[in-house]
Amino acid sequence: MKTRKTIIIFAVVSFILLVAVSVYAVMNYSEDEFRAQSIETVKQSEGRDNHHAVGENLLEQDFDRVINNNGSFSDIVENNEVTVVNFFASWCEPCKRETPDLNQYYNDQSESPVEVVGINLRDSAENRDRFLETYEVEYPIFEFSDESEAIDQYHINLMPTTFFLNSEGDVVRAYIGEITPEQLTSYIEYVKEAS
C-alpha cells in the first residue's frame, strides 16, 4: 500500500513538473524565435506550396481592374515589399471560407509594405460581383486580360491558390488550398527574408 502511494505521489509530482517546465518554455520563447521557427518551417515545406509558378514573373501579364484599386497591378506590386495574390472564384467553397480572413489581413496590414490582391478566375461577372458584395471584399481585385494563357503559364489548376510576390513581381512562394492567417504571416516573413 505504501509503495502504491509513493508511485502515485511520484507520478503526480512528475506531471506537475512536466507542466511547469512546458509553461516556462512557452513563456520564455520570444516572438522572434517563433518568427524564425515559422520561416524555417516554410523553407523546409514541400507539397502544398511546391508550385510550377515559383520563379515566374507575374508582371509579364496584362490585368483588367475590377474593384477597390486606383492603380495598376504592377504599381501595387512594385510599391510593396510583398504582395499576396489570391486566385479565387465565386463557386469555390474554400475561397468563401478564406475571404473574410484575407479581408481582415488586408485591413490589419494597411500601414505595412504588404498588399493583398485578389484575381478572379473562371467566373461570370455577375457571380464574381455577387461574391465580392456578399463578402464585402475591400482589397483590390483584378482579372487576367487573357485568362486562358495565364492559367496555362502559371499552372493555376486548383483554387484557391495564393502566390507570394516580391517587389519585382517574382513568385517567391505559392500555396495551394485554403490559407490561414498564420500561414499568410509565415509565407510573408519568408518572402521578406528571401528578398
Q: What pLDDT band is residue 64 in, cutting at 50, 70 and 90?
A: confident
Q: How many angstroms separate the Cα of 34 from the Cα of each of 41, 94, 147, 185, 186?
A: 10, 27, 39, 11, 10
Domain range enclosing 14? 2-32
Number of domains in the chain: 2
Q: What residues contact 134, with CB distance under 8 A and at least 6 apart?
A: none
Q: What pLDDT band is residue 56 in, cutting at 50, 70 and 90?
A: confident
DSSP 60: G
Q: Look at the pTM and tell me if it is higher than 0.95.
A: no
Cell 509503495 sits on residue: 3
Q: What pLDDT band is residue 172 in, cutting at 50, 70 and 90?
A: very high
Pick from 40-44, 47-51, 81-85, 155-159 the range whose average pLDDT is largest.
81-85
Residue 42 placed within a domain: no
| Grid cell of 153 as nine digits | 503559364
Q: What pLDDT band is residue 33 in, cutting at 50, 70 and 90?
A: low
| 79/166 Cα distance (integer angstroms) | 10
User: Are 70 and 123 found together in one domain?
Assistant: yes
Cell 528571401 sits on residue: 194
What residue type is 13 in one-letter code? Answer: V
Closest CA to 42 of 150, 166, 181, 174: 174
| 137/6 Cα distance (integer angstroms) | 62
Element (H, E) at 99: helix 93-108
User: Are 62 and 137 found together in one domain?
Assistant: yes
For residue 44, pLDDT over 60 is answered with no
Residue 97 placed within a domain: yes
Residue 39 placed within a domain: no
96-137: per-residue pLDDT in tens? 999 999 999 999 988 899 999 999 999 999 999 999 999 999
Q: Give the mean model confidence (pLDDT) for residues 17-27.
A: 62
For residue 180, pLDDT over 60 is answered with yes
Look at residue 192 in the predicted model and tell me its pLDDT. Answer: 93
Q: What is the CATH number of the domain that holds 148?
A: 3.40.30.10
